[in-house]
Amino acid sequence: MANITKPANRNGFSIAIICALGEERDAVMAMLDETWHAPEYGKTYGDDNTYAVGRVGRHKVVVVRLPGMGPQKAAISAATFRHSFPNIRLGLVVGVCGGVPTKSDNGHIMMGDVVLSKRILDYTYTRQYDQGPKIKDTVEDIFGGPSSEIRGFLATMEGKQDQIRLREKTLEYLIEFCKKDGFRCWKFPGVDKDVTFPRSYRHKHQQPQSDDVCIGDACAECRAVEEELNKAQADKKAEAEIKTAERQVKIAGVCDASEKKLCEELKCDMSKAVLRASQGRDPKLVDGMIIRVPEIHCGTIGSGNSVMKSAYLRDELAKERKFIAFEMEGAGVWDIFPTVVIKAVCDYADSHKRKDWQQYASGCAAACMKAFLMEWTTVDEPYHGNVAVPQQRLRVVDPVRNVHWTLTRSANNLFVGRDNILNTIEASLSRTLRDVNSIRQQRFVITGIGGQGKSEICLQLANRVRRLFWGIFWVDVSTETWAESGFLKIAGRLQIPAQTLEEARQGLANVKERWLLVLDNADDPEVDYQRYFPTGTWGVVMLTSRNNNCHSYAPEKSFALDGLSDDEGQVLLLRAADVPDAQRSTVEGDAQVVVSLLNSHPLALIQAGSYVARGHCTLAEYPRVFARQRKRLLAFRPVQARSRYGDVYATFEASAEILRALAEAIPLSSTTESARDALELLPVLATCGPSRVPLLVFKAGWKGAQKIRPDQSDEDDYGFHLTPWHVSRLPSFIQADADAWDSFRLIEAINLCKTFALVSTDTQGGFMSVSMHPLIHAWARDRADATEQHEAWLTTGSLIAISYSDSELWRQHGRQLQSHLQALMVWKSSRMFGSELLTRIISILLECGWLLYKMRDDARLFALMSNLLTHLGLNQQKIEEKWLAVYELTAWNLINYGKVKEALSLLEQIIKIRKQTLAEDHPDRLASQHELAGAYQANGQVPKAVSLLEQVVKIREQTLAEDHPDRLASQHELARAYQANGQIPKAVSLLEQVVKIQEQTLAEDHPSRLASQHELARAYQANGQVPKAVSLLEQVVKIREQTLAEDHPDQLASHHNLATIYWDLGRRNDAVQIMKRVVEIESRVLDEQHPDRKNSETWLKDFEDELRKDDPT
C-alpha cells in the first residue's frame, strides 16, 4: 500500500469507531494496521473521551470506548467527539449484540454471525417483563434513515460477489486476529455452545435456594408461572387459556440476583436447551483452526436503553418490525454523524445471557469492520500541491461572526453537570443548522423547580454556541411589561422600527440571519407564551419555566430538571465552599452527607458551600447546624454565584406570590378558586411528610365527615369523640357538606401547584398521589409563623383523624400514609395545643394514636403518649376516670413496647373503674379485660390470662355473631393463652375455627386473618404438625413481605417463627440466615432490653452453638 501520511492535526481523521465494552475495543485495536500517539493530537475543552488513533487501510481512524452502555452515553460521547474531530464522515459502532434466531436473506442468524444496520429503530421501555417496549416510529426516531452514501454502499455489498468478498475478508482478518498474542484464547467456542431455550423457560432460580436472596422453596419474584403454561398445554386447554398462560410467563419478573448469574449458577435445565441446527454451516479446519465461517446479515437493528432479555418481546418485535438484532449504542451515535452498526451475535436476546461467545464475537465484529473499511472508498480531491484535501460529504456548520449579544448575566463559573442536556441540545442545533431545507422552527423547553438551574443552562449553552449564531437574545417573560421591554430592546438594537411587542417580534422573525432567542421565566399558567415565539425557521427559541405544561411548546425537545448526580453535587458544593483540590479527598464523606441532605439541589448546594466558605461552620458541622437553623441556612444569600431570586426560599416564594395574586384577582379569573384551594393545600402537605400522599385520604376525610352527627357536642366531653368542630377544620375543597364526593377542586388545586413545580404527582395501582420536593416541603413549613403552623396542624390532624373511620384506606395504604402520620405526631405540644378546647386536640391525638397502635409503630406511640401525659400533668400511679381513654391507649402501647409491668398496673386500675361504671357485657369493659389478659400472659401469669379470657370469650359468644371481629379477636387471644399454658390441642381446635371464619370473611392480606394464620402455624408446630406449620407460615410470610415494612413487628415475628420451623425441619442454614436478619433489624429498631429482641438474640445464639457442636471447625 502507498505511504499514508500521518495526519498533521485532528482535522485529518475521517472515521470514528465506537465501542461500549473493553473487549470490543481490544479487538478493534488489534485490527488497526498502524497506531499513533493519541495525546499529541489533544482534544477540545470539555471533551471527556479518551481516544486512540491509527490507520485501517487508507483510512485514518479514531477509536473511543464509551464510559458505559446505552444510547445516552453514546450520544454524549459522540457529541463531544464531533467537537474534537470535526471532519468525521463515518461512524462505526462495533461490538457484540443479541441476535434474533431466525432466517435472514443470507440464511439463519447464528452465534458469531455479524449484522450490519440498514436502518435503526429506537425502542424504549422500562422493564421488559411489564407491558413491553414502546416502539418509536416517527421519522426522527428512525433518524431519517442512513445517508444516501451508506445506503448505496450497503446495496452494493448485498451483491453476490461483494458478499462473498466481504465474508472472505472477514474470515481472513478473524483468523489473523485469533493467532495474535493475547487473543489465542478468543477462539470459536464450538457448536455445542450455540443453543437456545424455549421462550417460556426463563433464566431464574430454578431450584430452592439457601442464600439470603431467595428464602424458602421458591424466590418470591422467580415464581414458577411456567407450570401454569405447561399444565394448560398438557391438558390441551382452549387456545385462549394457553395464550393467557403464555402472557403470564411473558410478564413474570425475576429477582435481581438471578439476572446477574449464569445458567450454570442458577441450575437452568440444559436438557431444555436446543442445539442450533448447522444449516449447512458446519465448522471447518482453516489454517489449523476449527472455525465456523461468520455469515454477514444486513437489516433493521433495534437500539434501546436496556438489554433485551425477553424472548417473547424479541420475537414480537422481530415479526412486527423485521428486527434481526438488538443493541444499545447505535441510536445514540446515529444522531451525530452517518453511522453503520457492525456487531456480532453473542447471545439470542433472551434472558439466558452467557459469556461463552463474547470474546469471539468481539473479534468477528472487528474483523468485519476492517473488511468493511477496506471496501469503503474515500474522496481525495481536489489536490493542493502534494497535500490531498478530502471533500466533505456533510455540510459542516460554519462559524459566523456573533454581532448581537444581549445577555446581561455572565455564565456561572461554579456550574457543574447537565452535560447530557447541553450536549443533546448542541448536537440537535448542529444538525438543524446544517439542514438548509428545514421547514420547522427549532424549539427547546426546560422545566423544573426554582433553583435547579434552568436559566443557567441557557447561559452555558449560549456561550458554547455563540460562534454559530449571528445574534443571541434574552427576554425575561415573567411579566408582560418585562416581555415587551425585552422585545423592544431587541428591535432597537437591530434598528427595526417597532412600537409594540408584536411589531418587534415580527421584525425579528424577518431577520435572515441565524439567531437564538431565550424566553426566560415563562411561569404564569394564565399566559399563552406562544405569542412570544417569532415565526419562521431562521431562529431557534429556548424557553424556561416552572410549569410542566410548557412542554407542549416543544414536546419532542423538552427537558425536566431533577437534582444533580451525587458526584456532580459534591463537585459543586466543594467549589462553592472554596475547598482546595488537594484537600477535597479528605472531605468527600462530609460533602456527600450535605449533598444528600439537600437532595442535590444546585442553588441549595451553592448556598451551603458559601456558608461554609464564609467560615460559619465546617462541612462536617453543616448537617447539625441545618437541623437547628434550616430556615436561616436556606435563606442565606451567597455573594458568589447569585441567582435571580437570591436564595432557595425566595425562588419558591416567587411561585407562592403568583398563587396569592391569582387568589386575590379582581375580577375573578378562571383560576381564582383553584388558587385559593392551592393555598389551602400547601400547608396540609407541609404538615405531612414530603413523600407521596395518596389522594384517597381526602376522600376518606369527606366520608368520615358524613358519619359525624351534626349535633355531636364536645363541651366537657371526656369521651373524646370527633365532632362537627373537627369537620369544620377540613380544607374547603373537600366540601364536607356535599351529598357526594367530588375531587374536581382538589385535582385543579394540585394541577395549579404543579404548574409552578411546587408539587408532583404519580399514579401507582390506579391511585394518584401528590408529593413535594424536600426543600419545597421545608420552605412550605418554614414560611408559616407559629399561628399559621398551629392552624395547619389542626386542619391536617382533623383530616387524618376523621379518615381513620375508613379502615380499608388504612389497610391498603397504611405504609404509604405512615410517614405522614409520624410527621403529624412529632410536632411540639406548643404547636398542637392552642386556645381551643383541650378535648378537641386530645381527640385528634387519640385517633392518630390508635392508628400508630394498629401499625405497631410502638416507639413513636410511646413517645406521643409520654409527651401527652406530661403535658396534661398526669401520672400512672393514680388514674382519674375522665382520662381513661388516654390511660387505656397508654397501657396497650406499653405491652407492645415491652413495659409489661407498667401496663399491668394501669390496666388493673382501669378494670377496677370499668367494673364500677359499666355492665359486664359492655364492649369497653370487655376490651380492657381482653388487653389485661394479654398483659398477664406477657408477664408469665398464664393461668390468670386463661381464666380472664375464658370469661370474655363466653360473654362475647353470647352477645356477638360468630364472625364479629371482637369475638374472633378474643378467641384468637384465648388460643394463644392455651398454647402458652400447654393446652396445645385446644389451641389448635380454636384457632382452626377462627381461621376458617376469617378465610370466608376477610381478604387474604387482612392483618387479623394473617395474625390468626400465624398463630395457627405456631400451634401446629407445637403440636408436631410441622409440614402443615411450614406451609401455612410461608404463605403468611410471603403476603407480609408484600404489605409490611421490613421492620414491622408482625413481619419480624413471622420470620422469627419461620426460622424456628426451618430448624425443626433440618434446614439449619436457612434458619440461621433468617434469624440473623431478624436480629439485625431488631437491634436497629428495638431497645436492647425489649423482650422480642432478647428472645431473637437467644434463639440465634442457640442455633449457632448447635452448629458449632456439629462442626467444631
Residues 997-1030: pLDDT tens digits? 999 999 898 989 999 999 999 999 999 998 999 9
Taking residues 586-590, what's their average pLDDT? 82
Q: Give, rounded to a whole angstrom, the gap between the first and last alpha carbons of the chain.
A: 69
**3-state secondary structure (DSSP) of residue 356:** coil
Choice between 718 and 26, residue whose per-residue pLDDT is larger: 26
pLDDT attached to residue 84: 86
Report the pLDDT value the prediction gives residue 718, as an integer from 0 to 100.
62
SS3 236: coil
For residue 669, give the H/E element and its range: none
In the prediction, which pLDDT does 1107 show?
86
CA distance 164 to 146: 23
Please state, in angstroms and rounded to a whole number, the distance separating the CA atoms of residues 36 and 27: 17
103, pLDDT greater than 60: yes
C-alpha span between 1044 and 305 (Å, rounded): 33
Set of cell numbers at residue 1053: 415475628
- Give the residue among 524, 534, 548, 535 at the shortest CA–CA distance from 445: 548
Which residues, including other chains, have CB under 8 Å from residue 103's CB and lie 6 or more apart? 109
If one looks up domain 10-193+278-384 in CATH, what number appears?
A: 3.40.50.1580
- What average pLDDT does this structure show over 342-357? 87
Cell of 715: 363541651
Helix, strand, coil percent content, the chain, rounded in steps of 5: 50, 10, 35
- CA atoms of 59 and 373, how far apart (whole Å): 8
pLDDT at 742: 92
Q: Tell me the domain boundaries of the chain.
A: 10-193+278-384, 205-269, 404-560, 566-646, 647-855, 918-1040, 1044-1113
Q: How confident is the model at residue 537 (pLDDT cuts 50, 70, 90)?
A: confident
Q: Does residue 944 contact residue 988 with C-beta atoms inside 8 Å?
A: no
> Which of 229-233, 279-283, 887-891, 1088-1092 bottoms out in mean pLDDT, i.e. has the lowest?
229-233
Cell 444538525 -> residue:
431
What does the pLDDT look like over 1057-1100, one tens digit per residue?
A: 999 999 988 899 899 999 999 999 999 888 888 888 899 999 99
pLDDT for residue 591 is more than 80: yes
* 623 C-beta neighbours (distance < 10 Å), count: 16
Percentage of the chain lying above the pLDDT 90 cut: 29
- Residue 93's SS3 state is strand
Grid coordinates representing 45 are 475543552
Strands 760-764 and 767-771 turn out to be antiparallel
Q: What 3-state DSSP class applies to 339?
A: strand
| Contact of 333 with 75, CB cutoff 8 Å | yes
Cα–Cα distances (Å) from 610 to 577, 651, 1035, in that order, read 5, 17, 55
Cell triple for residue 1040?
407480609
DSSP-derived pairing of the beta strands 404-405 and 339-347: unpaired
The per-residue pLDDT for 998 is: 93
| Position 955 confidence tier, pLDDT thresholds 50, 70, 90 | very high
> In degrees, to the nearest 5, what angle opens at C-alpha 555 toward C-alphas 549 and 561?
65
Element (H, E) at 63: strand 59-65
Contact 351, 310 (CB under 8 A): yes
Share of the chain above pLDDT 70, in %: 84
Q: Given this model, what pLDDT does residue 307 score?
A: 83
Mean of the pLDDT values across residues 84-88? 87
Question: Does 814 score more than 90 pLDDT?
Answer: no
> Can you give the C-alpha Rg of the chain in angstroms?
35
Pairing of strands 51-56, 34-36: antiparallel
What one-character-per-residue DSSP string does 491-532 give?
A: HHHTT---SSHHHHHHHHHT--S-EEEEEE----TT--GGGG
The closest alpha carbon to 770, from 633, 673, 677, 660, belongs to 677
Cis? peptide before 382, omega within 30° of 0: yes
Most confident of the ranges 74-88, 222-236, 615-629: 74-88
Confidence of residue 624 (pLDDT cuts 50, 70, 90): confident
8 A C-beta contact, residue 268 and residue 203:
yes
CB 655 within 8 A of CB 788: no
943's grid cell: 393461668
Lowest mean pLDDT among 63-77, 917-931, 995-1009: 63-77
Determine which helix (DSSP H) or strand (DSSP E) holds 784, and give its type and residue range.
none
pLDDT of residue 107: 84
**The three grid cell numbers given for residue 781, joined into one nine-digit string:** 413549613
Centroid of chain to Cα 713: 48
With 50 as the cut, is the pLDDT of residue 388 above it? no
The model's pLDDT over 32-49, given as tens digits with 9 standing for 90+, comes to: 999 999 998 988 877 888
pLDDT above 60: residue 873: yes
Q: Please give the residue that has the higher pLDDT: either 329 or 64.
A: 64
Inter-residue long-range contacts of 264-268, CB under 8 Å, 24+ positions, other chains counted: 266/203, 266/204, 266/205, 266/206, 267/206, 267/207, 268/197, 268/201, 268/203, 268/206, 268/352
CA distance 229 to 245: 5
**Highest mean predicted confidence (pLDDT) among 653-657, 710-714, 813-817:** 813-817
Helix (H) or strand (E) holding 28: helix 22-31
Cα–Cα dist 937/954, whole Å: 19
Cell numbers at 810, concatenated: 388504612
Whole-number mean pLDDT of the chain?
82
Alpha-carbon span 835 to 849, nearest angstrom = 22
Dig out the grid coordinates for 552 from the structure. Answer: 407542549
With 0.75 as the threshold, say if the pTM is over it: no
Q: Residue 620: CB partners within 8 Å, gap ≥ 6?
A: 587, 590
* For range 58-65, the mean pLDDT: 94
For residue 124, what pLDDT is reported?
Answer: 58
User: Residue 628, class by beta-carbon neighbours within 10 Å (0-12 exposed, 13-18 middle, 19+ buried)?
Assistant: exposed
CATH code for the part of the protein at 918-1040: 1.25.40.10
Mean pLDDT of 551-561: 83
Give φ, ψ of 218 to 5 degrees: -160, 145
Spatial distance between the Cα atoms of 490 and 501, rounded to a whole number of angstroms = 10
Pick the CATH number of 404-560 from 3.30.450.40, 3.40.50.720, 3.40.50.300, 3.40.718.10: 3.40.50.300
Question: Is the CB of residue 942 less than 8 Å from the CB of residue 977?
Answer: yes
Q: Would 404-560 and 918-1040 be classified into the same CATH topology?
A: no
For residues 893 and 348, what is the distance between their CA atoms, to the nearest angstrom?
58
- Quote the longest CA-to-CA distance of the chain: 117
Name the pLDDT band for 218 (thresholds 50, 70, 90): very low
Q: In the prediction, which pLDDT does 126 show? A: 35
Q: Is the pLDDT of residue 836 over 50?
A: yes
Distance (Å, whole) CA 276 – CA 283: 13
pLDDT band at 144 (very low <50, low <70, confident <90, very high): very low
* Residue whose C-alpha is closest to residue 698's, from 745, 659, 758: 745
What is the per-residue pLDDT across 447-468, written as a single tens digit (0 to 9) for each?
887 777 788 888 888 888 888 8
Q: Which of 139-143, 223-227, 604-608, 1056-1060 has the lowest mean pLDDT?
A: 139-143
Mean per-residue pLDDT, 751-765: 80
Bridge partners, residue 1092, by sequence? none
Peptide bond into 294 cis (omega under 30): no
Cβ contacts of 108 within 8 Å, gap of 6 or more: 101, 102, 276, 277, 279, 281
Cβ–Cβ < 8 Å for 907, 891: yes
CA quadruple 81, 85, 87, 90: dihedral positive or negative?
negative
Helix count and strand count (H, E) for the chain: 41, 27
Residue 617 cell numbers, joined? 461552620
Q: What is the pLDDT of residues 704-757, one digit of tens each?
A: 999 988 877 766 556 678 999 999 999 999 999 899 999 999 988 998 888 777
3-state DSSP assignment of residue 798: helix
95 has a pLDDT exceeding 90: yes
Q: What is the pLDDT of residues 501-515, one digit of tens each?
A: 888 888 888 888 888
Query: What does the pLDDT read at residue 803?
Result: 93
Identify the pLDDT of residue 786. 85
